Amino acid sequence: MRVDLGDLGFDEGGHLLLKRGLRSLPAGGEVEVAGSHPDLDLHLGTWCRAEGHRIRPATAPGPGRIWIVARGRADAARLEGAVPAGHADASRPEAVAESPPATWGLAARGALVEAGGPAFGFPLDRRIEVWSDDAARLYAQAVAAQWDPATAVPWDARFDLPDEVEDAVVQVMTYLVENETAALVVPSRFVAQMHPHFREVMQLLAIQAADEARHIEVFTRRALLRRAAPGLSTAGGQASLKTLVEEPEFPIASFLLSVLGEGTFLILLRFLAQHAPDPVTEAVTRLAAQDEARHVAFGLSHLRRHVAEDPAYRGRLSDAVRRRHDALRHTAGLNSLVFDALLVIAAGAWDTAALRRGNQRVMALLRDMDAGRRASLERLGFSLEEAAELSGLHTRNFM
Amino acid sequence: MGAKPVVLGAVAYDAKVVTIWDGFQRWFQGRGLPFDYVLFSNYERQVESQFDGTIEVAWNSPLAWLQASRIAAALGRRAEAIAMRDSDCDLSSILLVRASSDLARLSDLKGKRVATGAPDSPQATLIPLGHLAAEGLAPGTDFEVVMFDRLAGKHGDHVGGERDAARALAKGEADAACILDANHLLFSQDGTLATGSVRVLGRTAPYDHCNFTVVGAPSPGIARFRELLLSMRYADPEVRALFDLEGLKEWRPGRTGGYATLAQAVDRFGTIDAFVASVASRCA
């Protein structure tokens, strides 16, 4: 084999031609190198020395000089022990490892990983705990469905609400902001613990956190649209959310937050969009509900997979609901200000008939939330009785 | 404490030296060889410490090898180079001038300014200045020597001095610069020297660089150290990381035929005579 560099120097990329020529040869295999660059003799010699190749001149110095380069063992030795980190296409068999090694680290799934790399500390490294075959599809949907808070919401719409109704909206927005903050913090914490081998799940959690960032933005902006400050944040509400933020196990946190919490929240947001007293409130709750539906879908998807592989895990999930219920037994649950605000929004007016109608709507909302939770629990394989019991134990704070 | 370890000396020319020798220590110990190392801030202290028994084997620069072998000879002992890197074999130094310069041959450097590395750098000072002297150009007399002294006592292991010399050439502060052959490509690729901005005016004969030096008959521990050293393979990921830091693909048996050029230069300049005499007299 012969590599002719022409007048290309090694300091201009000439080494790439020689590397390409050597690549197909076994160790000890030889290639003739020709070239006319004035520094070629110098650069060939020093490059081969550094790379572990051997070189000798085949002709005397002068124009048209030829060198013989014999491939060393080092460049091939670098790949000994290298392993492919699964396969890029998750749909292929064995593409996603059951328990990817810590030394695969940040490597793209499917990349060839050189042996001897550092071991990363990603504690969420078991497929059963995190994986969902729907993650890639949900991520693509999420990317396509991103909306711009600046243009998707009619911030300049003209409307005029009675002070009490505006106060009710502000109180509900205040409550929504702290709940969405919990929904941002929880996946953000787990995404940093997740083995990057589970790329699609990592991406989905990242965009989920970005969704929540937009929700926090629009709910805050709606709260401050006509008022100088948000409303009341209650000790009971924060105590309920703190149990979510501090849950150390990803599948359990996902169950409590995404399936039960956001599932309930989704129904609340749709309720608010339906009964919104103004177009801004309608838009922000409707848009947030679109995103929350995806979050619920992912939670259900990976947990269904999890309990299908490990049916006993259902016991852990139900224990988690009971444990959380016990922890919150002595807290107030949904604060009365939020409850009253929902009733005012659902009533839309202050006459007795409207208030009665509002109360009926809020009661129906609570029933819808319960039915939604029970349906989700049944999809995870809980019996009707278990689903009813666990739904009843869910936090009175909704999330 | 277990068996008496083989104690190696190395010069700390860079923070990575700790990583390298900590890594080799783990590797040797993992194969049953008790091994420890001592770092020195300069080669002269390391050479002395080999003769006072602090260290049994020294990872020596070529200049330190000459110092150790001459002290050993003065004491009636024998120094041996037991191993070296593949990349220590057949180096050369080059003299660069700007491509636009009208300097065409070494004799044209008469009356000019020649940039070099540290005073004790074999590759960037002693060997190229010896080469010029052999061509009839006495440093400091026939041309001005502009030394870029980074970390004296480290025998030019730190590339900073050579890089400063190359920069001085590029900026027109010197008419020529002396560097290791491999640094021409390195400085071109890292932007120290613009592509095509310099040309090679002269090149020295090949010479060898570092080696592991022992004095006197090697102990069983040293024999095992050498055996393990030569068994290291680049395919071993633990070894590969250390080889990449130390700049080699394999250890080779030591050879001493490649130090004659440096020996001629230090003889000409009297570089190490006083040090060799001083240590030899103290150890006699």
> How far is Cα A57 from Cα A61, in angstroms, rounded to an integer?
8
- In the predicted structure, residue A254 carries a pLDDT above the cut 60: yes
Mutation for A interface: B200, B233, B234, most A CBs within 10 A: B234
Q: How far apart are CA A307 and CA B267, in angstroms?
A: 81
Task: Identify the CA nearest to B195 among candidates A357, A378, A39, A193.
Answer: A39
Give the residue from chain B lying closest to A13, CA to CA: B189
Q: Is A39 an 8 Å CB contact of chain B?
A: yes
CA distances from A304 to A247, A297, B203, B257 (A): 20, 10, 72, 73
Give a yes or no: residue B111 inside a domain.
Answer: yes
Task: Give chain A positions within 8 Å (CB) of B250.
Answer: 52, 74
Looking at the fold, whether B212 and B193 belong to one and the same domain comes out as no
B249–A73: do the CB atoms touch at under 8 Å? yes
pLDDT for the residue numbered B151: 74
Do the Cβ atoms of B235 and A80 come within 8 Å? yes
Q: Provide the pLDDT for residue A399.
A: 78
Q: Is the pLDDT of residue B203 over 60?
A: yes
Residue B158: pLDDT band with limits 50, 70, 90: confident
What percent of chain B is predicted at pLDDT more than 90? Answer: 93
pLDDT level of residue B84 (50, 70, 90 thresholds): very high
Name the residue facing A46 among B181, B196, B250 (closest C-beta): B181
pLDDT confidence of residue A333? 65
Identify whether residues B140 and B234 lie together within a single domain.
no
Whether chain A has a CB inside 8 Å of the CB on B244: the answer is no
Taking an 8 Å cut-off on Cβ atoms, the answer to whether A116 and B237 are in contact is: yes
Size of interface A-B (CB pairs under 8 A): 66
Domain identity same for B237 and B159: no
Q: How far is CA A388 from CA A266, A375, A377, B76, B151, in A?
A: 19, 9, 9, 95, 77
Q: What is the pLDDT of residues A162-182, one digit of tens each?
A: 999 999 999 999 999 999 999
B235 touching chain A per CB within 8 A: yes
Q: How far is A93 from chain B (nearest CA, A)?
A: 29
CA angle B39, B42, B45 (to 5 degrees): 80
Per-position b or e across A77-92, b if 16+ CB within 10 A of its CB:
bbeeeeeebbeeebee
What is the rounded average pLDDT of the residues B208-215? 98
- The count of structural domains within chain B is 2
- Domain A2-77 is of which CATH architecture? 2-Layer Sandwich (3.30)
pLDDT band at B12 (very low <50, low <70, confident <90, very high): very high
Q: Hey, are the CB atoms on B185 and A115 less than 8 Å from each other?
A: no
**Do B247 and B271 belong to one domain?**
yes
Helices (H), B88-213: 127-134, 160-170, 181-189
- Judged by a CB distance cut-off of 8 A, whether residue A372 touches chain B is no
A119 touches chain B (CB under 8 A): no
Q: Nearest CA of chain A to the CA of B180: how many Å? A: 10
Domain finish residue from B203, B224, B246 = B203
| Average pLDDT, rounded, for chain A | 94
The yes-or-no verdict on residue B1 having pLDDT over 60 is no
Contact A52 B86 (CB under 8 A): yes
* pLDDT tens digits, A338-383: 899 999 999 988 899 999 999 999 999 999 999 999 999 999 999 9
Residue of A nearest to B202 (CA): A42
Q: Averaged over B92-100, what is the pLDDT?
A: 97
pLDDT band at A332 (very low <50, low <70, confident <90, very high): low
* pLDDT tens-digit map of B256-265: 999 999 999 9
Kindly report the length of chain B.
284
Same domain, B111 and B54: no
Classify residue B106: in a domain, yes or no: yes
Final residue in a domain of this structure, among B203, B237, B271 = B203
A118 touches chain B (CB under 8 A): no
Show which of residues 125-184 on chain B sit within 8 Å of chain A, judged by CB atoms: 181-182, 184
Residue range A24-34: mean pLDDT, rounded: 95
Which of the residues A12, A37, A44, A49 would you substitute to probe the B interface, choosing the one with the greatest number of B C-beta atoms within 10 Å? A49
pLDDT for A321 equals 94
A331: pLDDT strictly greater than 80: no
Is the minimum CB–CB distance between A16 and chain B shorter than 8 Å?
A: no
pLDDT band at A258 (very low <50, low <70, confident <90, very high): very high
Residue A64 banded pLDDT, cuts 50, 70, 90: confident
**Is the CB of residue B77 less than 8 Å away from at least one CB of chain A?**
no
A211 SS3 class: helix
**B1 inside domain:** no
A397, pLDDT greater than 90? no
Tell me: the pLDDT tens digits for A7-16?
999 989 999 9
Q: What is the pLDDT of residue B242?
A: 96
Q: What residues in A contact B200, CB-CB < 8 Å?
A: 38-39, 42
Instruction: Identify the closest residue of chain A to B239 by CA–CA distance.
Output: A116
User: How high is the pLDDT of residue B227?
Assistant: 98
Using the beta-carbon criterion (under 8 Å), do A50 and B203 form an inter-chain contact? no
Residue A109 DSSP SS3 = coil
Q: Which residues of A touch B91 (CB under 8 A)?
A: 49
- Do B182 and A38 count as a contact with CB atoms less than 8 A apart? no
Q: Which residue of B has its CA nearest to A117?
A: B237
Is A11's CB within 8 Å of B181's CB? no
Whether B250 has its CB under 8 Å from any CB of chain A: the answer is: yes
Q: Considering B153, B174, B203, which residue would you say is the last residue of a domain?
A: B203
Cβ <8 Å between A39 and B182:
no
Given a cut of 80, whether residue A334 has pLDDT beyond it is no
CB contact under 8 A, B234 and A50: no
- Name the band, by pLDDT with cuts 50, 70 and 90, for residue A329: confident
**Is the same domain home to B103 and B189?**
yes
A47: nearest CA in chain B?
B182
pLDDT tens-digit readout, B138-154: 999 999 999 998 777 99
> What are the boundaries of each domain within chain A?
2-77, 80-120, 127-393
CA-to-CA distance for A179 and A347, rounded, in angstroms? 24
CA pseudo-torsion sign A306, A312, A317, A320: negative
Report the distance separating Cα B96 and Cα A254, nearest Å. 66
More confident residue, A14 or A63: A14
Q: Do A11 and B241 touch (CB under 8 A)?
A: no
Length of chain A counted residue by residue: 399
Cβ distance B195 to A46 less than 8 Å, yes or no, reads no
Give CA separation, A178 vs A71, A239, A240, A284, A290, in Å.
64, 11, 11, 15, 19
Is 3.30.930.10 the CATH classification of the domain at A127-393?
no
Domain match, B214 and B80 both: yes
Across the range A104-126, mean pLDDT stands at 96
| Domain that includes residue B25, residue range | 6-88+208-283
CATH number at residue B25: 3.40.190.10
Q: What is the pLDDT of residue B2?
A: 62
What backbone torsions phi and psi does residue A111 show, to the nearest 5 degrees?
-70, 155
A72 touches chain B (CB under 8 A): yes
Asked whether B255 and B204 are in contact (CB, 8 A), the reply is: no
